[in-house]
Structure 1
Amino acid sequence: MRSKAGDYLLHRATRIFPAFIVCLIVTAVLFGPLAMLIQYGSLQGYATTAVTPVEFVWSNITLYMNEYSIGRTLSELPYPAVWNGSLWTLYYEFLCYVLVWCLGALAWFRRSAVLSLIIFVVATAAHASGSLLTALGLDGSFVLFAKLAPFFLGGACVYFVIERLGVNQWLGVSSLAIAAAQILAIPHWGGQASAPFLAYGLLWLATIIPQPRWVGTNDVSYGFYIYAWPVQQLLVLIGLGAGDGALGFVVYNLVAILVTFSLAWLSWTLIERPAMNRIRRRPAAPERVSGSGTSL
């Protein structure tokens, strides 16, 4: 609503792609060799056994995860041969950004919540009739997109409500109650149907729960998301948390949080924040002065 079309896409791509690509590279050149040494005591065949490290990075570089494994690494874990099972969602997240970008070109969408509400209902109905999508010849990727898009579009609907009416306490509490009832009462698509209520309720909670200033200026959430899985796989590989009892599980989680936070902090300070600051400091295009033949 507040950005030019090109700037919107540039900002979204900058927020997602640089840290994602670095995560793929770090996995291939650091995590993978480390796992190979732990498992086999040697790096022999690491660079040449399919899926090779280069294939892992190159095949996934567009956000669509084609390969999850690297060579023989992680082959004996409870969740075998998967280096990052979280990254698959980013492709669909970016598709949602593109969808909103396309809708943003329509004056109707920019003036009213009606179109976003219609698209939300259509997406939810598409997910609810998943077998119909398959019968129409649409592949699993489209089915997944139909499953996730309603959450994004529900937030788009709520944007218009909050822009006009603000955030109301009673609406916030009621929204969370309605969302919980839909999720519990409606199998398969209740979560999608609850998306606007869930979004409104969570945004209301954000207005009453204090946020530490450090959190507001250091967004390590994305780094947590992209590094948590490989960190947890490596910790399982070295045997942490493998013992019985709650204490081993607690220690495993604490170590995973600390290591993941360290990587997320490095990602934020070295990759994400510098990339975003760079595009935000771009000089504005020269503005032509009518009839003067000069530019400001």
Structure 2
Amino acid sequence: MSLTSHTKNSAGVPSGKQGKLSLYDAVLGQENSLNFIRLSLATAVIIAHTGPLIGVHADFLGIPSSRVNLIGGWAVNMFFAISGFLIAHSAQRGTAAGYLKRRALRIFPGYWVSILFVVFLCAPISVATGHTEESFSIKSAGGYIFRNFDLFNLQYPLFGGPIGIPYSHTWNGSVWTLGFEFLGYLALIPLFYIPFVRRNTKWIVPAIYTILLLGYPFFALIGKEPNHFTEYILRLHAYFFAGVLLYLFGKRIPFNATLGVCLTIVGCVAWIASPSEVARYIHIPVAYGILALSAVIKTRWCSKNDISYGIYIYAFPVQILLAIFGSASLGWILNFVLTFAITTGLAWLSWLYVEKPALALKDRKLLRLRRNRPAGTVTASS
């Protein structure tokens, strides 16, 4: 994705002939590497999960094993920051129904097929190898599909398993974040599609972010701990709305490549060192960092084919399946390599045959209407 002097920003001005770029123009006005960064973040989640899922505790690049799992938490935070920025951009066009349709088509088809992958491949293998408490039954399989269908009230074990491995009774421990992601999508509907609210979005969004930011201090003040649901809302949606904020004010925020790289590194280190302290209050700086980094990195990897989502939803069951086959004896590094290789193949198939075709449906009605227009009709997009 190397840029040339002909690359233009969102205003149509060649980037080589203008002054300093804004964050908005740096990310959206020219080619970016957000797909590659999301793939890297999904890979970081695999790294974080590898040790615990096979019962091997080893350092990673000098980071103690007790802290390695925190890399996955940081990656999830960055997913939400990027998502807030991009989904706010998506919400700028069309109707609320069209927006909801686009978001549903992006998240649900791939996710539903990953459920079938667990039900009809992974779980039967665990039954055949004696890693379950129950035998295969259509009723239990149907119940698993039904309970996991809508991203909420998730069921993790199936047929009483997997058991007999270091991390048991969970087939996909990563998908819990998807429900919170979708809640973020829903939260943007009134902000961008109700006229009165939309006119005041640049006041309301900062207010929402401030409430989320002050959530932890509030609970500390009253001497209580937030429940798990509230804690995840405070954490993940603070990053999500930090991304929304940076989108709304992005044209006024200067883009600085060096600052972006530094903030990304500092944010990651801060999270690993103290995830429950200072890292709770640096959402906007680290969101700026990861977004700016997408304009700094020049690569064509994943520019056309976004397999990051497939990597995220398939990696965990693949790791569990490898553990069932005794992969712990292979060690930490080889388990990671095997997981990444297998999951990449599944993610590629998911993108080609499930996610990409599903996304192609988002404008089907619009295209049909256009085909029926009389010749010479000028549309708004023209």
TM-score range relative to shorter protein: 0.7 to 0.9
2:212 is matched with: 123
Matched, 1:36 2:127: yes
User: Partners of 2:236 and 2:245 in 1: how far apart?
Assistant: 15
Matched, 1:101 2:189: yes
Which residue of 41, 65, 85 corresponds with 2:173?
Answer: 85
Matched, 1:45 2:130: no
User: Partners of 1:24 and 1:181 in 2: how far apart?
Assistant: 34
Q: Give how far 1:140 is off.
A: 3.5
Alpha carbons of 1:192 and 1:7: their partners in 2 closer, same or farther (altered >3 Å)?
farther
2:358 is matched with: 275
Q: Deviations for 1:200-234, whole angstroms, at most 9, x for unmatched residues?
A: 1111111111122x511110000000000000001
User: Partners of 2:236 and 2:191 in 1: how far apart?
Assistant: 17
Q: Which moved more, 1:188-197 or 1:219-228?
A: 188-197
AA partner of residue 129 (structure 2):
I
Alpha carbons of 1:252 and 1:286: their partners in 2 closer, same or farther (altered >3 Å)?
closer
1:292 is matched with: none
**3-state DSSP of counterpart to 1:32:** helix
User: Partners of 1:146 and 1:133 in 2: how far apart?
Assistant: 16
Q: Give how far 1:258 is off.
A: 0.8
Contact between 1:178 and 1:194, CA under 8 Å: does it hold in 2? Answer: no
1:148 is matched with: 236
User: Partners of 2:254 and 2:148 in 1: how far apart?
Assistant: 41
Which residue of 105, 114, 126 corresponds with 1:23?
Answer: 114
Alpha carbons of 1:266 and 1:19: their partners in 2 closer, same or farther (altered >3 Å)?
same
AA partner of residue 338 (structure 2):
V
Contact between 2:157 and 2:169, CA under 8 Å: does it hold in 1? Answer: yes
Alpha carbons of 1:108 and 1:182: their partners in 2 closer, same or farther (altered >3 Å)?
farther
1:237 is matched with: 324
Q: Deviations for 1:99-156, whole angstroms, at most 9, x for unmatched residues?
A: 12222235565566432222111012124434679969x8532332222110100001
Contact between 1:183 and 1:194, CA under 8 Å: does it hold in 2? Answer: no
Structure-2-length-normalised TM-score? 0.65
Q: Say which structure, 1 or 2, has more relative contact order (CA 8 Å, 6+ apart).
A: 2
AA partner of residue 31 (structure 1):
C
Q: Which moved more, 1:184-193 or 1:223-232?
A: 184-193
**3-state DSSP of counterpart to 2:302:** helix
Alpha carbons of 1:36 and 1:183: their partners in 2 closer, same or farther (altered >3 Å)?
closer
Q: Deviations for 1:30-73, whole angstroms, at most 9, x for unmatched residues?
A: 11101211226x99721168xx2111110111101431000133
Matched, 1:227 2:227: no
Between the aligned residues of both structures, percent identity stands at 28
AA partner of residue 27 (structure 1):
V
Contact between 1:231 and 1:259, CA under 8 Å: does it hold in 2? Answer: yes
**3-state DSSP of counterpart to 2:94:** coil
* Structure 1: gaps spanning 5 or more residues: 288-295
AA partner of residue 361 (structure 2):
R
Q: Give how far 1:24 is off.
A: 0.9
Q: Which moved more, 1:60-69 or 1:140-149?
A: 140-149
Contact between 1:175 and 1:201, CA under 8 Å: does it hold in 2? Answer: yes
User: Partners of 2:362 and 2:111 in 1: how far apart?
Assistant: 17
User: Partners of 1:189 and 1:165 in 2: how far apart?
Assistant: 27
Alpha carbons of 1:261 and 1:101: their partners in 2 closer, same or farther (altered >3 Å)?
same
Alpha carbons of 1:46 and 1:204: their partners in 2 closer, same or farther (altered >3 Å)?
same
AA partner of residue 312 (structure 2):
Y
Alignment of 1:157-168 (within 5 A): 157-165=245-253, 167-168=255-256
User: Partners of 1:6 and 1:133 in 2: how far apart?
Assistant: 40
User: Partners of 1:237 and 1:58 in 2: how far apart?
Assistant: 25
Matched, 1:257 2:348: no
User: Partners of 1:74 and 1:44 in 2: how far apart?
Assistant: 10
User: Partners of 1:181 and 1:232 in 2: how far apart?
Assistant: 26
User: Partners of 1:260 and 1:183 in 2: how far apart?
Assistant: 27
Q: Give how far 1:286 is off.
A: 6.1
Structure-1-length-normalised TM-score? 0.82
Alpha carbons of 1:58 and 1:131: their partners in 2 closer, same or farther (altered >3 Å)?
farther
Q: Which moved more, 1:141-150 or 1:179-188?
A: 179-188
Q: Give how far 1:82 is off.
A: 0.4
Which residue of 95, 98, 110 corresponds with 1:7?
Answer: 98
Q: Give how far 1:177 is off.
A: 7.0
Alpha carbons of 1:44 and 1:156: their partners in 2 closer, same or farther (altered >3 Å)?
closer
User: Partners of 2:265 and 2:318 in 1: how far apart?
Assistant: 36
